[in-house]
Structure 1
């Protein structure tokens, strides 16, 4: 009989790793319901800090800016990323250098990309604002959408495209009636991932936001608030942002898993 290794060391390591990763987040969520004004002293359950967020004009303005940036950047990045994935996957001659160039924004440190974008906008004398944050997030998100859609294209059955063309359908009809429905789950998964990254992104937005509250996003707002100390209101705001990101990421992973099956 083959000797079976005990399961408890693996489970212990698994619990320790997940505890290390998520225990601070669990504490943050718990303290966001703390009735006390002190962020680390529990005095009872309360949702007053969430109610307080609803009447804070600065936070509401930052939330609206974040939503605008995330939605617009996601739409543009999804379209461009999908087209890029199709173009790269259908090229007859594969180029390692071209692929590395396309996916460079994924591996370049955020601070380097942020400085590069700020320098680029400065050279062009572009006034910084929400539009520059959107452009920057499109550049950042595009590679992630492309990678998700390309993963689906790796398992794509091109014989259905050939069958559609043999039956007399043109390129445009074949794309919308055959290719697009098959790629749709991957496109949605890539869009959800791009939305999550855009909502959470801080460094690039901070460098390309410009002056004034008209271009302040939620991560920048949280940073400006936390410089004066952590409060339960910040915990509540961070919990909401984290929940939105987690839901979008889980949906993205679910769709990505289904389209890979």
Structure 2
């Protein structure tokens, strides 16, 4: 794309929207647009919800599978330099219905020889939705040492927290007791992360308290996402994150 680098920030978001719009009809050109914006930053950063999922990640995961777009998505996962960056990519993929891609990515990473690549696959599995498949994958690394072992500890903590978030959200949705609603709301806000946007509609909100007071959860959700995002942004594979220049991304 012929555009001066200095002008990119002003049109960064427009390029992302265009790339997303043509993802299914012209995946090659869409991928080229994503690549053109890969190293620029928008003047205004748009996010979806409170979890830090941004326009760049959501746009990249929109659209069907194609070699060109899948290469962009793989590069985004490979190049994510913190646990928060990995989480944002996974949460975006989940919201865009790209579970199959994530499963294939995890399978490939876990067969690679480098501990860092295995660790990345473990983290992606830990940020995915609850499933027997992900249960088995994480269980396989329960007693692993080294970098994969560190990643397992961080991944299983995130995975179990999501399980508890689902449990408490179901209580919130079902109960007709205001006290139970408030108690479950407090516990829910201690467990939830960005996956909530991908699975919240799976639960029917039948209780009277959630109909009347559901919006009261928004502030605690915002605080939780901000706190968790800051913590994860400091780490990679559950350890202090190295400088981004040391994170390998395949071209």
TM-score (norm 1): 0.28
Q: Rg bigger for which structure?
A: 1
Which structure shows the higher helix fraction? 1
Higher relative contact order (CA 8 A, sep 6+): 1
The normalised TM-score by structure 2 is 0.29
